[in-house]
Amino acid sequence: MSRPVPKPGILDIAPYTPGKSGAGVSGRVFKLSANETPLGPSPKAIEAYKAAADSLEDYPEGTSRVLREAIGRTFGLDPDRIICGAGSDEILNFLAHTYLGVGDEAIHTTHGFLVYPIATMANGAINVIAPEKNFTADVDAILKAVTPRTKLVWLANPNNPTGTYIPFDAVKRLRSELPPHVLLVLDAAYSDYVSKNDYESGIEMVATTDNTVMTRTFSKIFGLASLRIGWMYGPANIVDAINRIRGPFNVSTPAMLAAVAALEDTAHQDMSRAHTEKWRSWLTEEVGKLGLTVTASAANFILIHFPLDKGKTADDADAFLTKRGLILRALKNYRLPHALRMTVGTEEANRLVVAALTEFMGKT
């Protein structure tokens, strides 16, 4: 029987598989698999979201002007060089759709965000993987992977799921040694958690080049993951190109107004950042005491490596924790079959995971 057939390459794409959200057990469940903030959104954002319910019959303002202006005020940016989207994922797909075609190449690192290959291959381009060094992006490896067909480089900084980052000097070197026609996409979804002196999210580079963009999200420290809202800062020529394919009402009014209120509540952001720094350090130290290696993280999660010994593997640990209502992220689809990623949770959740891992590692 005849039926529509997807264009070549679509069925070669591995679909995005999110972390599990349920444990299949009775009692309390602590979901630590999706890098959601344990403190929730700002109460001011919730209030703004609820207030928007009085006018749900109206279309959103088509350019997200109110939010773009709020982002501009917060970061000192030109609102005309900002695009908002239904999560930064939508913007990543806009970029691929605009700048990648059949036979082009796009580069990401070994453990890069899974949306990168999806966006690349969906546009008929070739997904090129640059090796990492110590679970960290390697500028030299990225540059070595460049060919005449390279059109775009995806760089998550900090990276998900490893939590590692590269300093601004390394990013500047990458940009300076890439061919000028290659678009560098700096995915700074976790930048709000970074407190390192040698880190810069990408604002400076975007401001001084015409071939670099930075994407950000409201899903992490702002706690608005369910509203799906993100943004991009880029050169005027790139913003103009993307606006030609962006849907006119791609960001809802409730999402925009909640995001504006979240931006303005700096006290809530500071509280979330302090909580993450405190418990990320505590988890890294306590899990390390159990003989497990933890990759140093600059984000709101940690990467825990498990041995290959029977009964002690990442799969064994995942099953053990799940039975206790503790949901971490398995990482086989990220080429990390021997590791689990744990979001920094509430104090209770963090202590329960360490207690469970202590019991797990003590098992014979």
Give 312-348 pLDDT, tens digit per residue.
999 999 999 999 999 999 999 999 999 999 999 999 9
* CATH placement of domain 43-264: 3.40.640.10
User: What are 214-248's pLDDT values in tens digits?
Assistant: 999 999 999 999 999 999 999 999 999 999 999 99
Question: What is the pLDDT confidence band of residue 144, given thresholds at 50, 70 and 90?
Answer: very high
Question: pLDDT tens across 261-289, in order?
Answer: 999 999 999 999 999 999 999 999 999 99
Query: What is the average per-residue pLDDT within 123-151?
Result: 98
Residue 113 CB partners (closer than 8 Å, separation 6+): 154, 156, 159, 160, 187
- Report the sign of the C-alpha dihedral through residues 318, 321, 322, 327, in that order: negative
Q: How many CB atoms lie within 10 A of CB 16?
A: 12
Give the per-residue pLDDT at 210. Answer: 95
Torsions phi, psi for 70 (to 5 deg): -65, -40
- pLDDT score for 364: 40
- Tokens for 93, please give them: 């797909």
Does domain 17-40+267-362 match CATH 3.90.1150.10?
yes
Query: Which H or E run includes 153?
Result: strand 150-156
Which residue, 236, 292, 282, 208, is CA-closest to 78? Answer: 236
Contact of 215 with 86, CB cutoff 8 Å: no
Element (H, E) at 231: strand 230-233
The mean predicted confidence, pLDDT, of the chain is 95
pLDDT value at residue 109: 98
Note whether 17-40+267-362 and 43-264 share their fold: no
| Spatial separation of the C-alpha atoms in residues 161 and 297, rounded to whole Å | 9
pLDDT at 7: 83
Nearest to 297 by CA among 162, 100, 113: 162
Give the mean pLDDT of 126-147: 98
Return the closest-CA partner of residue 105 out of 167, 150, 48.
Answer: 150
Give the tens place of pLDDT for each residue, 160-218: 999 999 999 999 999 999 999 999 999 999 999 999 999 999 999 999 999 999 999 99
Q: Where are the domains of the chain?
A: 17-40+267-362, 43-264
Q: Is the dihedral of CA 89, 91, 93, 96 positive or negative?
A: negative
- Cα–Cα dist 350/333, whole Å: 25
Q: Which of the 8 DSSP states describes residue 167?
A: -
pLDDT at res. 25: 66
- CB 182 within 8 Å of CB 151: yes
Handedness of CA 138, 334, 128, 218 (dihedral sign): negative
Q: Which token pair is 192?
A: 């709000």
